[in-house]
Structure 1
């Protein structure tokens, strides 16, 4: 099944490690085969890894973009997820962590990343005192 991407002007994305930048007009791309694709908004730079949930997200993103070095990133993921789960008491958040871990083990990295964004949002709420 093909994946249809609509890119905003100047939007960037990464496809199988190649950074692609859109021009000055809206563009639609159709990806016909399996590829590792991340939009600019889903790419985290190393200097942005500043919280425990972001420390969970980053190695998943690296596994997704660089699967040949999977074991190196997986070890970092396991360490960070274990630390995160040890500090969390909310059952719904722990369930989310388990789901993310299952997705990583099944190599469903994109799904794990999207769920990990929920962890980042939860963490932001807690840090802002909204919880």
Structure 2
């Protein structure tokens, strides 16, 4: 896999953080776990349940040699989400995410979680609206 990086950009590879000083292309010739800087969520941005799940899985990807604590947190958060979710797309997505995490396919899990952000946003927007029957 060939990746192009801009000057000053970071890439996270198997727990290591690399920052390039000039525009460069890197070819990853074996199976590695990586995240580009633009895919990294900062802790203050983990403002919803799915974004928090993303952040937890991101921790697992960024530090693959020590996933014990993040795995426990993931299991608790995932279980809590399953308890409260009623949306079929969200439930199916959480099942797929769990399979990916169980097989240490963290990058694919992150992609699947990102795909559920709009679903979560729609659910939250719907929950925030007051039905005409409740207003009376």
Same fold (TM over 0.5): yes
Larger mean Cα displacement after TM superposition, 115-124 or 75-84: 115-124
Matches within 5 A, 1:34-113: 34-113=31-110
5+ residue gaps, structure 1, are: none
TM-score by length of 1: 0.84
- Extract structure 1 runs of 4+ deviating beyond 2 A: 6-12, 16-25, 124-129
1:23 to partner: Cα distance: 4.1
RMSD: 2.2
TM-score by length of 2: 0.81
Larger Rg: 2
Q: Distance in 2 between matches of 1:59 and 1:39?
A: 16
* Alpha-carbon contact 2:15-2:61 (below 8 Å) kept: no
Larger mean Cα displacement after TM superposition, 109-118 or 62-71: 62-71
Number of residue pairs matched by the alignment: 128
